Amino acid sequence: MGAEIILANTYHLWLRPGLNTLKQVGGVRKWAKWPHSLLSDSGGFQVFSLAKLREIREEGVDFQNHLDGLRATLTPELSIETQEAIGASIMMILDVCPALPATQEELRFACDQTTRWAARALRAKKTNNALFGIVQGGLDPSMRLRHLEALAELKEDGRSFDGLALGGLSVGEKPEDMYALLKQVTHHFPEEKPRYLMGVGTPWDLLEAVETGVDMFDCVMPTRNARNGSLFTSRGVVRIKNEQYSLSSEPLDPNCDCFTCKNYEKSYLRHLYHTNEINGGILGSMHNVAFYLNLMKNVRASIESKTFASFKEKSFAAWGDRHANAATPR
């Protein structure tokens, strides 16, 4: 489908197969025969998602291992060591990702702890792989900008960050509030470094964020939604399990040339989902990933041709109401 980068989850790979196995097999790219770039997260999102199973300390994060219940500690240094063992082209610092809404005290703690861990991550880095800092601060623009300044100026052993990310979004806030924050802070990020919005999002989210200057995104939405029968098309979201598609001989998206759309009718896809046949989720995932890749390809072309504003307007008109779709999962 033309993807040039994929993401590996550090927390889950740290637990299974484990750091020693990752080192012995030569990393994920070699192991999975993936010849292109690889992005890894730091385990920081699990600080948020496993809130009931962890404790944040200065040293790192103590987890109750969700696989066997045993305690384990992820430190900034261990996160970097694991990501280097994964073989990531782009690595992320371990951060504190607060749920929203959050108090000023919670946001300050997240920023301050993330900054201290960021310095340790820079010192721990042993390879030439890129390392990104993660800016926290919730929906408070002034706190975001203060944390951005702290990370942008941070240097350890002559090293600084190769890119900067916006973390702690799509964690409970309204999309409109996220958009408003991005408009206030993204253009303050260094122009010479990539700007990465973590855990986002819907096609609407992507275009809104691109307009503010965001360069990079990651989200489980294409595949998670596909497994649940929610498929993105040039005409809007198709809930393929709906009765209206039971006899449809149309392709999922007539404007898509992915394997799924070139070979299968909506009625067949609906049948696969209703019988819980694994091929339904596979074919749906292939389409949704192709849709996102094609969307971003068109975004890049529209920016180069200086027609992004009209591309965004036409896309939104074709997709319909964003509020009719589920909130962004990470």
Q: How far is the C-alpha of 145 from the C-alpha of 186, rounded, in Å?
A: 9
> Given 41, 140, 205, 253, which residue is catalytic?
41
Whose CA is closest to 253, among 219, 263, 243, 244? 263
Q: Is the peptide bond before 43 cis (omega within 30 degrees of 0)?
A: no
Question: Is the CB of residue 25 less than 8 Å from the CB of residue 311?
Answer: no
User: Which residue type does 3 have?
Assistant: A
Does the annotation count 257 as an active-site position?
A: no
Spatial distance between the Cα atoms of 92 and 109, rounded to a whole number of angstroms: 19
Judge whether 140 counts as a catalytic residue: no
**Measured in whole angstroms, how far is the alpha carbon of residue 46 from the centre of its chain?**
13
Q: Using CA atoms, how far apart are residues 19 and 30, in angstroms rounded to an integer?
A: 15
> Which of 170, 132, 127, 123 lies closest to 151, judged by CA?
132
> Residue 115: which H helix or E strand, with range?
helix 104-124
Catalytic-labelled residue, pool 140, 205, 218, 253: 218
Using DSSP's 3-state secondary structure scheme, residue 72 falls into strand
Cite the active site residues. 41, 218
